[in-house]
């Protein structure tokens, strides 16, 4: 059995004897309670397998109790969790806490007592908007009679109407069609998306093709009873569509035929809890074992997916040419309009918005929320900073008191730390200030702000200007009449390894909310990025980014592991892997609290050995900590050593990381 413990030294299988009264219910996959071999403690865990004998020479303790007769740990899920944990030098129990939700007794009893007949399976259907011959190969791959097929699918860039008149983004319809085609063959499908809004879109689309009882939703945005109810549905021995956020990939699924991941470049696909495994990696590991179809869908490929396409591991599939979106960069209009290069909203974009408002809502995407994303001292020009944490100050509304973007503290009686000046000026424009300016420019239009603080799900048709941050854009029936993408230069100036591919993804995700014939204007961006977007070829941008990273040995051309802890522990840990071929170490650099961080870079072929050695260092570090004195409770201390694999955050702007940690990010994306 496997113990539910985060301690790395306990991350292995333990043998326990099953007493006679429990033998009927102590089956693989059930939750159990067992005694630990020290201090008379008890622990929870799961039975992984049964055996007639054990290799352990010491005493074998009896299983204490079976919590429930429901086998919640599916064998396929256990294999996935074990492989993923080993790949990231993590513990299986950390992943099991995400894969298996807490038990809800009433829900479980109702499920055990259920009497229901299997709902009818859907009829087979094709993929709307794609070449039928190429898409048929993908759909056939999800059936039991065919081998696996792995695809990087480019989504259609506009909303679509379902048969009941409901409008959804086209990607939701495509994923629902893939799932329906899979279930039509008697196999299950898993669809994983970044946040709760994407779940809602795909669920609405799926209900157009599938009986409600064929859909099992599993995501953290549900109540505990609803999540456990959906999880129990995935345990049943009949086809099901498992729909949810990043944890959906670890859900059980009877005879799995398809795994589909939407927008894998979204950071919400990265699990924040240890060991921090990405949805994409879980999907790849599970597909390899279950030999099912695999789809990574998006409006632009991530660099990781592009790498797999170039290796031949994934096959690219794009919609028909007439369905592809081409952006119009205002920088390409500089010759006709000399001021376009300097203007935040060039006159051509103003004219486009004015004409489009007569036909329907217009979307304006900006870089930052609030009124002014940054303040500066009027006297010396230095950035106005918080007296508490030195974070940058921002103005969330006109006339409001400035507040810190990192810690949220109000800057009352602010003084400049450089020149002692007492006056500040605004720098840049956020959603609120942009909305004020557009409201004055278009007095007859309704202006709506949509960002992380003001979530808006949908907008009715009408003369409406929607000012939104990236990822918070509402849906409009029929699509927006025009989309203006502002602050492109500011977005590209962010210090991040993934800044270019992130910007391309943000822009194309917003552009995909426009009607098929609606203009999409991109302001403040020129060069190769603008040219590729004007040609409808975002993969060219990502391929160039990947080539640059390959020459510099940056992810995803290589894998990385961030090693954080006390200097001596970090030095010892990197020392045990630095002698391996294809391994090099960046750092260490000093962090807060007397800790340091080193980044280990290594080739993919060395991943298993690097993870094995760093896992051994984690165990050594955990077991060599001083024991508490007798009679005194143990103190909670920061671990001597932490390891996180495939983490690109150390390559990002430290200020941006602080802001995200404080919940001050600009995006309206919320994982559910």
Give binding residues for Zn(2+) as ranges: 377, 380, 386, 389, 404, 407, 416, 419
- Beta strands 31-35 and 65-66 are antiparallel
Q: What is the DSSP letter of 573?
A: H
Question: In sequence order, what are the beta bridge partners of 376?
Answer: 383, 425
Rounded Cα distance, 633 and 131, in Å:
66
Rounded Cα distance, 627 and 168, in Å:
57
SS3 per residue for 119-186: CCCCCCCCCCCCCHHHHHHHHHHCCCCCCCCEEEEECCCCEEECCCCCEEEHHHHHHHHHHHHHHHCC
Rounded Cα distance, 422 and 415, in Å:
5
Cβ–Cβ < 8 Å for 266, 141: no
Contacts of 105 (CB under 8 A, 6+ apart): none
Q: What is the DSSP letter of 348?
A: H
Q: In this structure, what token pair is assigned to residue 101?
A: 């939700």
- Residue whose structure tokens are 């010892």: 572
Length of the chain: 672
Q: How many CB atoms lie within 10 A of CB 146?
A: 16
- Where does residue 116 rank: exposed (0-12), middle (13-18), buried (19+ CB within 10 A)? exposed
Report residue 449 CA to chain centroid gap: 24
Rounded Cα distance, 439 and 9, in Å:
61
* Segment holding 482, helix H or strand E: strand 482-485
Contacts of 462 (CB under 8 A, 6+ apart): 360, 361, 446
- Beta strands 393-394 and 403-404 are antiparallel
Cβ–Cβ < 8 Å for 13, 1: yes
Rounded Cα distance, 452 and 473, in Å:
10
At 46 the three-state DSSP class reads strand
Instruction: Output the known binding site.
Output: 377, 380, 386, 389, 404, 407, 416, 419
């Amino acid at each position: 059995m496997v113990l539910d413990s985060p301690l790395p030294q306990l991350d292995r299988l333990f043998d326990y004897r099953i007493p006679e009264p429990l033998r009927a219910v102590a089956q693989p996959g059930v939750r159990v309670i067992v005694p630990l071999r020290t201090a008379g403690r008890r622990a929870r865990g799961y039975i992984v397998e049964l055996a007639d004998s054990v290799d352990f020479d010491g005493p074998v303790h009896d299983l204490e109790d079976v919590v429930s007769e429901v086998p919640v740990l599916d064998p396929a899920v256990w294999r996935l969790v074990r492989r993923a944990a080993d790949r990231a030098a993590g513990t299986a129990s950390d992943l099991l806490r995400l894969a298996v939700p807490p038990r809800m007794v009433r829900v479980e009893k109702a499920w055990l007592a259920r009497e229901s007949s299997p709902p009818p399976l859907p009829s087979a259907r094709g993929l709307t908007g794609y070449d039928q011959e190429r898409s048929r190969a993908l759909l056939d791959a999800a059936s039991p009679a065919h081998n696996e097929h792995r695809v990087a699918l480019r989504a259609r860039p506009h909303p679509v109407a379902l048969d009941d008149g409901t409008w959804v983004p086209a990607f939701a319809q495509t994923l629902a069609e893939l799932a329906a085609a899979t279930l039509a063959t008697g196999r299950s499908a898993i669809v994983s998306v970044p946040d709760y809004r994407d779940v809602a879109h795909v669920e609405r689309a799926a209900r157009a093709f599938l009986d409600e009882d064929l859909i099992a939703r599993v995501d953290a945005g549900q109540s505990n009873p609803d999540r456990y109810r959906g999880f129990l549905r995935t345990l049943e021995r009949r086809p099901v569509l498992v729909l949810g956020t990043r944890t959906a990939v670890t859900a059980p699924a009877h005879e799995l035929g398809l795994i589909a991941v939407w927008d894998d470049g979204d950071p919400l696909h990265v699990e924040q809890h240890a060991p921090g495994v990405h949805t994409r990696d879980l999907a790849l590991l599970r597909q390899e074992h279950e030999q099912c179809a695999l789809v990574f869908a998006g409006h632009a490929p991530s660099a990781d997916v592009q790498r797999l396409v170039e290796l031949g591991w994934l096959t690219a599939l794009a919609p028909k040419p007439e369905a592809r979106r081409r952006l119009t960069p205002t920088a390409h209009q500089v010759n006709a309009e000399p001021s376009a290069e300097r203007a935040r909203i060039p006159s051509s974009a103003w004219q486009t918005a004015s004409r489009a408002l007569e036909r329907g809502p217009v979307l304006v995407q900006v870089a930052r929320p609030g009124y002014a994303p940054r303040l500066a001292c009027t006297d010396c020009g230095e950035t106005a900073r918080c007296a508490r944490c030195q974070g940058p100050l921002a103005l969330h509304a006109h006339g409001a008191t400035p507040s810190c973007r990192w810690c949220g503290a109000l800057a009352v009686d602010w003084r400049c730390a450089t020149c002692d000046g007492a006056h500040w000026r605004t720098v840049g424009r956020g959603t609120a200030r942009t909305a004020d300016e557009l409201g004055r420019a278009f007095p007859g239009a309704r202006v709506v702000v949509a960002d992380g603080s003001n979530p808006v799900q949908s907008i009715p048709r009408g003369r409406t200007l929607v000012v939104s941050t990236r990822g918070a854009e509402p849906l409009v029936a029929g699509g927006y009449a025009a989309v203006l993408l502002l602050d492109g230069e500011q977005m590209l100036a962010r210090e991040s390894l993934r800044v270019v591919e992130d910007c391309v993804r943000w822009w194309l995700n917003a552009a995909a909310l426009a009607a098929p014939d609606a203009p999409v204007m991109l302001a403040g961006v020129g060069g190769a990025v603008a040219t590729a977007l004007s040609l409808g070829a975002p993969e060219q941008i990502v391929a160039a980014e990947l080539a640059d990273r390959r020459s510099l040995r940056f992810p995803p051309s290589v894998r990385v592991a961030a090693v954080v802890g006390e200097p001596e522990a970090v030095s010892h840990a990197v020392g045990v892997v630095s002698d391996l071929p294809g391994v090099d170490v960046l750092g260490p650099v000093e962090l807060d609290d007397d800790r340091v961080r080193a980044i280990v870079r290594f080739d993919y072929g060395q991943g298993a050995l690097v993870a094995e050695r760093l896992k051994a260092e984690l165990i050594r570090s955990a077991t060599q900590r001083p024991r508490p004195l007798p009679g005194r409770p143990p103190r909670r201390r920061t671990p001597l050593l932490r390891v996180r694999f495939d983490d690109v955050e150390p390559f990002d702007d430290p200020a941006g990381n602080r802001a995200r940690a404080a919940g001050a990010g600009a995006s309206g994306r919320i994982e559910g």
